[in-house]
Chain A
Amino acid sequence: MSGLDVSHMEALAEAVVFAHEPDAPVPPVGDRQARAFERTAAMALVALAPPAEVPALLHTRLAADALRFCATRGDRVPPQPSTLGRRAAPVLTFVFGLAAGLVLYLLVAGRNGDPVPTAQQRAALLAADAGVVRLQWRAGPSPLRGSVEGDVVWSEARQEGYLTFHGLPPLDAEHRFQLWIVDGSREGAPVDGGLFTIADPAAETVVPVQAKLPIGKPAAFVVTVEPKAGVVVSKQDHVVAIASL
């Protein structure tokens, strides 16, 4: 290496070490040698910075960001070829007929004071609001996920939604499932969507969403396992199901 090369390399090395100083020169972007020094510095940091326990609240913020990222980048099911064009008329007639029947049933049931089954409330929401978002559950990383399947339906206009589960194993008496809604329009931790239990994993269970705050832009719905009284902010130690846009 010539004297000129050595002094160039020394200048680059110095620029990389003190790059955090506001008045220091910035290492040249795209320079191979500068990048090699930058990589050296990154490798050294592994030994220079002893790990420290992340505060629980920060972990929650990091996990919420991670879920938001998954919601935007997550596995996407390729769109299925539509059959609507071929059979649109009979299908639409059937759907509108079903919707009308359901609305009539709910009106009658409501007047009689009988509780309307949650599954029928869900069906009525689907029939009444064309803007309802419908997302499939994906299994979370927790072993408590069982073979969870099902979906989430959510109406932004009505702030109403339902979760459908199949294959989610029941919990012991000390624990509950808790829904969290990652709201893209809101900073901070996901919104609490309510506690629920599953009685029979073989049967289909429909659960109403009980969002504790208005949801502006739902990016993901996440189900965790928590102590039976629920938590204000989840550590997300046991994520069993995720549905994301």
Chain B
Amino acid sequence: MTENLLPQVAAGSPGAVESFLRRHQNMVWGLARRFCRSAEDAEDATQEIFVEVWKSADRYDADYGSEVTFLMTIARRRLIDRARRQGRRPATELLEDAGTLPAAAVADQAELQDEVQRAQQALSQLRPEQREVLDLALGQGRTHQEISAAIGIPLGTVKSHARRGLMRLRELLGVADVGTEGLA
């Protein structure tokens, strides 16, 4: 099993911090690059996300979820904060940079691969339209108006797919109520 590095990160261990960075930086960068309006914005967001992870590592509670769930929760919150601060953006700027390179596998990603598979399996059980809406909203930060225009369905239907898709996904992933401790 892959070692959970967050307790050592919280203690400021340079080796753990470096390993954590190498283990997860490509995933966070991939997300930020899809979510942000430009490469510069994605770089700033990635930097902000990891700084927040370092500062929050001592609040990690294994009951909340895995290391990568903790990281992605922080990543998503930071990206949401930035998007809300910056206001809505034009859809034309949401296209992915063709120069973005896919990342090579990192050696100690066995647990991460398990989590990816589990999430992929759950997503594959959603209705295709629910999956598409969640991908565009969660994974790419598109607004419901942009999604409506992109896939040609009414706004109300976009929202309906989004909420029913997330509720179904929660069931499939077995996410119970989450306490208020840990990552506030």
Contacts and interface: CB of A to CB of B under 8 A. Distances in A.
Contact of B169 (A11, A33, A40): A40
A18 B103 contact: no
Contacts of B101: 52-53
B14 A239 contact: yes
A122 interface: no
A52 B180 contact: no
A121 to B, nearest CB: 29
A66 B21 CA distance: 8
Interface in A166-208: none
Interface string B84-103: 10011000000000001111
Nearest to A11: B163
Interface centre among A22, A33, A45, A55 (most CB of B within 10 A): A45
Given A17-B163, A41-B76, A239 B177 contact: no
Contacts of B103: 51-54
A66 B159 contact: no
Contact of B134 (A10, A48, A50, A55): A48
Interface string B144-184: 10000000000000010011111101100101111110001
Contacts of B69: 39, 42-43, 46
Contacts of A45: 31, 72, 75-76, 138-139
Contacts of A69: 12, 17, 51, 54-55
Contacts of B6: none
A44 B134 contact: yes
A19 B77 CA distance: 9
Interface string B1-39: 000000000111111011101000111011101110000
A134 interface: no
B138 A48 contact: yes
B41 interface: no
Contacts of B68: 46
Given A20-B141, A35-B180, A69-B51, A53 B26 contact: yes
Given A10-B163, A10-B167, A66-B18, A42 B102 contact: no
B143 to A, nearest CB: 5
Nearest to A236: B18
A62 B21 CA distance: 8
A72 interface: yes
A239 to B, nearest CB: 7
B138 A52 contact: no
B135 interface: yes
A160 interface: no
A62 B178 CA distance: 31
A88 B117 CA distance: 66
B72 A52 contact: no
A21 B88 contact: yes
B25 A21 contact: no
B50 interface: yes
A75 B11 CA distance: 7
Contacts of A58: 29, 43, 46-47
B166 A75 contact: no
A53 B65 CA distance: 26
B26 A51 contact: yes
A65 B49 CA distance: 11
A22 B88 contact: yes
A18 to B, nearest CB: 6
25 contacts: A10-B164, A18-B144, A21-B88, A22-B83, A22-B84, A32-B180, A38-B178, A39-B64, A39-B65, A40-B170, A43-B69, A43-B118, A44-B139, A46-B112, A46-B115, A48-B134, A48-B135, A49-B27, A54-B103, A62-B46, A66-B18, A67-B14, A69-B55, A73-B11, A74-B13
